[in-house]
Amino acid sequence: MSQYSHILLAADFNQESEDVSARAAALKDTFSATLSIIHVLEPISIAYGGEFPVDLGDLHKELEKQAESQLKELGAQLGVPPERQYLEVGITEKEILRVGKEKHVDLIVMGSHGRHGLALLLGSTANAVLHHAEIDVLAVRIKKSK
């Protein structure tokens, strides 16, 4: 196995994703690597409710505020300073890959739900990142809550 120097944890803040964060932290320690965290918010645009448009800008601002808070909390837990915590808005897999490339990451760690059937055909973020990344990707299986 090669030596990793910069690991990017793609965090989605689900309860089940603690295993993913723990795996990224363990790899950081194993390789004495730098750890960064990214969380991506999908954009919320204007929705149309009947005849009148509904502006969801306030909802997006609230979601962004919550995500920022969760990112800071996870960063504190993992010892990741604010300058390596990235909150991006866009298409999740594209933003993960973009930030990974810009920050010279050599390993992306993210969760995978292991979907089957129709959900697999429709694709997943982990699958998209895995197939388009030019670096290693570790997809950590997320176990379903009971």
- Full pLDDT tens readout for the chain, 146 residues: 569 999 999 998 887 788 899 999 999 999 999 999 999 998 776 444 555 565 667 787 888 999 999 999 999 999 999 999 999 999 999 999 999 999 999 999 998 866 554 444 445 888 888 888 999 999 888 776 54
Does any domain span residue 39?
Answer: yes
Does any domain span residue 125?
Answer: yes
Does any domain span residue 1?
Answer: no
Q: Residue 119 is part of a domain; what is its CATH number?
A: 3.40.50.620
Environment class of 102 (CB within 10 Å of its CB; exposed 0-12, middle 13-18, buried 19+): exposed
CA 96, CA 9: separation in Å to the nearest integer? Answer: 9
Q: Quote the number of domains for the chain.
A: 1
Does any domain span residue 110?
Answer: yes
Does any domain span residue 146?
Answer: no
Name the residue range of residue 111's domain. Answer: 6-141
